[in-house]
Chain A
Amino acid sequence: MHALEKILAKAADKGIVEAGEIVNCKVDMAGINDLYLQTLHSFYEMGGEKVFSPEKTIVFLDHYAPASAIDQAGNQKKFREFCWSQGIKKLMDINQGVCHQIMADKGYSKPGQLIVITDSHTTTHGAFGAFSTGVGATDLAIILRTGSLWFRVPKIIRIHLTGRPPKGVFAKDIILHIIGELGADFAVYKGIEFTGPVLQMLTVSERMALCNMTTEMGAKASYIQPDEVTRKFLGDKGVCDYQIFETDTNYRYDEVLTFETTHLMPQLAIPHSVDNVAPLSEHVGQPIDQAFLGTCTGGRVQDLSVAAQILKGRRIDPRCRLVVVPASKQVLLEAIEKGYIHTLVKAGATMVTPGCSACLGTHEGIISKGEVCIASSSRNFPGRMGHVKGEIFLASPASVAASALNARITDPSQYLD
């Protein structure tokens, strides 16, 4: 069995599971976002009164943090009241940040766990060796009601990363390249495991970016075998109560693909789909109106650090805005302590509240008709960040920062030591 299958088997209390089988699994952590009040409606419609396990439930007020419309404020109020009345202690209010980063910051993402959140980018926690997947509101309500949910055991694709990425090429460039090669529907209903020597060079932050974006290939879950890097990250947080599963040597992957990274260049996803990928060099000089640095894909300390390195002692071109949203409160605090925020604001950045911000086009930096944005986020669908006639180019945090300097798409390599 694959490690992901072993996690499902344990959660289903079964010895063996196999791809295609439908199993009912006990969920270790169930998360709800403030977008989905429907979850509470569905819970009550199913006759729910008390949440099955308040300790295993976590509520994130992140997509609308802080509320910018009356109905958003109303939904958040109902979530707070729900947590208080149900004894749910893990209420992550508007001061905490994006769900996936909070999960990592607080040590809730750990090997062997079955994590389900009402957010498609829940694949992120595969970076820690968890089985983690996104669901809709009613599925999450079923977990609130019963503690369990059905899953179809997925086939697993292995993506082997070799070589050594050159200067200016980051995990985001690697995953954009892979999505461009394979397509937005390549891994629908399947899991993706990353292996290979490149992983040893990637921090937890970059591993999270890789796993986060597997959603854009339709993947159900992702996986990186926990190693010393994972253990150290968790150990530093005092987290040691986890079980690491390993894939059997005779496990047969659905497919094994190898990607060489030594000759990779910075990449871009071009409007309006994430699999429309080209080397950034083909679009150098494209004017931009906004550079957006942040989100659960590209708003961690390491991302702000590389942006600060590029922008230190420089000023962004006044023809564009640079909107910066740290992924979480902890990221913001660390970036303040390390001086990155000072550097970014001096360079001309606009800081917004840790959370999802303009990533899904609801507030804090949405773009107008005809405007062009380069973003470290995960999606460039029509209308994703505001007007349907706005254009979004996806890139690494370094490419976003370098482009803000010139109000044009720019290769970051020249600004990096």
Chain B
Amino acid sequence: MEKELNGKAFVFSKNIDTDQIYPGRYLAETLPENIGRHAMKGADQEFIRQVQPGDIIVAGTNFGCGSSREHAAIALKASGISVVLAESFGRIFYRNGINLGLPLIVVPGITAQVETGHQLSVIVETGWIVNQTTGKQIKGDQISEYMFTILDGGGIKNLIHKQYQ
């Protein structure tokens, strides 16, 4: 995983559920590249046309609440999103994202400090963020050691594979 992630922000409100991140009607898809094409479709139809590799999602509380579908985390990762910064996360989405190696950082109050299109730099290990557009620094919660080990190992599948070989 890169030490510092850079990208432009897409800002969403609170309670963005997994039906909005990845609508139920596409759940029979199994290939990440196909899944990625439907990212955020339930919340913003334009997102998938605008997102660039490395971009960052910023959201209010309870991002990823609702259904357990791992498709939601797979879709964001496959669409190029490098990290999600939210005021809090739905718990199953949080596990899914970390397991896949998609960094998720809890950042209290972030939606008041970032607008869509702002350029952000994020240090995942410490939770420090710089809004390059406004010049302000923002502090996110530090990710736990256990979660960081999973992210740093490229996701839990790699770790389990090695451990049980």
Contacts and interface: CB of A to CB of B under 8 A. Distances in A.
B68 A120 contact: yes
A212 to B, nearest CB: 13
Interface string B57-87: 0000110011111110110000000000000
B136 interface: no
B111 interface: no
Interface string A114-140: 000011100000000000001111110
Contacts of B160: 46-47, 142, 145-146
Contact of B65 (A71, A141, A146, A184): A184
A135 B29 CA distance: 19
A181 B30 CA distance: 38
Contacts of B146: 22, 150
Contacts of B67: 119-120, 360
Given A47-B161, A138-B156, A388-B42, A38 B19 contact: no
B15 A184 contact: yes
A38 B72 CA distance: 12
A286 B62 CA distance: 30
A275 B25 CA distance: 24
B62 A138 contact: no
Nearest to A138: B99
Contacts of A118: 68
B20 interface: yes
A218 B91 contact: yes
A38 B70 contact: yes
Interface of chain A: mostly helix, strand, loop or mixed: loop
A379 to B, nearest CB: 7
A273 B61 CA distance: 14
Contacts of B69: 35-36, 136
A110 interface: no
A248 B42 CA distance: 45
A207 interface: no
A320 B100 CA distance: 44
A362 B27 contact: yes
Interface in B15-41: 15, 17, 19-20, 23-25, 27-30
Contacts of B161: 45-47
Interface in A360-406: 360-362, 379, 381-384, 388
A134 B30 CA distance: 20
Interface in A66-124: 69, 71-72, 74-75, 118-120
A381 B66 contact: yes
B62 A184 contact: yes
B20 A383 contact: yes
A42 interface: yes
B88 interface: yes
B165 interface: yes
B92 A134 contact: yes
B6 interface: no
Contact of B99 (A64, A74, A136, A379): A136
Contacts of B100: 138
B164 A382 contact: no
A189 interface: yes
A239 interface: no
B19 A382 contact: yes
A23 to B, nearest CB: 11
Contact of A383 (B29, B42, B62, B156): B42
A74 B31 CA distance: 14
Contacts of A383: 19-20, 23-24, 42
Contact of A382 (B20, B30, B91, B96): B20
Interface string A155-196: 000000000000000000000000000001100110000000
A41 B100 CA distance: 13
A309 to B, nearest CB: 32
Given A37-B30, A118-B68, A137-B70, A384 B165 contact: no
Given A75-B30, A134-B92, A218-B62, 10 more contacts: A46-B160, A137-B70, A138-B100, A185-B65, A188-B89, A360-B24, A381-B66, A382-B19, A383-B19, A384-B24
5 contacts: A22-B146, A36-B70, A134-B68, A135-B92, A388-B42
What 3 A-B pairs are tightest by C-beta distance, nearest first? A136-B96, A185-B62, A136-B70
Interface of A: 22, 35-38, 41-42, 45-47, 63-64, 69, 71-72, 74-75, 118-120, 134-139, 141-142, 145-146, 150, 184-185, 188-189, 218, 220, 273, 275, 360-362, 379, 381-384, 388
